[in-house]
């Protein structure tokens, strides 16, 4: 469960940070003249091959609800 929490939080925080950085640099942030363009393009793919957000949220929800006797089937 902790891994799912970390993967979800870090991936979303990375998305927010990169979005702000690209916004701050304008069109230059999307070019290959800065590392931001590369990171921004590849960050989204990393969120998918690392497992979609919904999968991580489901893992966390199952673990949180388990002590209350709720058995969630996927």
Q: What is the pLDDT of residues 8-57, one digit of tens each?
A: 999 899 999 999 999 999 999 888 888 998 998 888 887 888 788 889 99
Q: Is there a domain that residue 70 lies in?
A: no
Q: Is there a domain that residue 58 lies in?
A: yes
Number of domains in the chain: 1
Q: Is there a domain that residue 20 lies in?
A: yes
- What CATH number did the domain enclosing 38 receive? 1.20.140.10
Q: Is there a domain that residue 17 lies in?
A: yes
37/56 Cα distance (integer angstroms) = 27
- Encode 13-26: b = buried (16+ Cβ within 10 Å), e = exposed: eeeeebeeebeeee
Contact 11, 47 (CB under 8 A): yes
- What is the domain range of residue 19? 2-64
Q: Is there a domain that residue 29 lies in?
A: yes
Q: Is there a domain that residue 24 lies in?
A: yes
Q: Is there a domain that residue 69 lies in?
A: no
Give the global pTM. 0.76
Q: What is the pLDDT of residue 74?
A: 63
């Amino acid at each position: 469960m902790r891994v799912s929490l970390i993967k979800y939080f870090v991936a979303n925080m990375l998305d927010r940070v990169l979005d702000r950085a690209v916004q701050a640099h304008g069109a230059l942030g999307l070019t290959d003249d800065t590392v931001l363009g590369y990171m921004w393009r590849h960050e989204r793919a990393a969120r998918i091959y690392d497992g979609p957000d919904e999968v991580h949220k489901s893992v966390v929800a199952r673990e949180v609800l388990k002590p209350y006797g709720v058995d969630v089937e996927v």
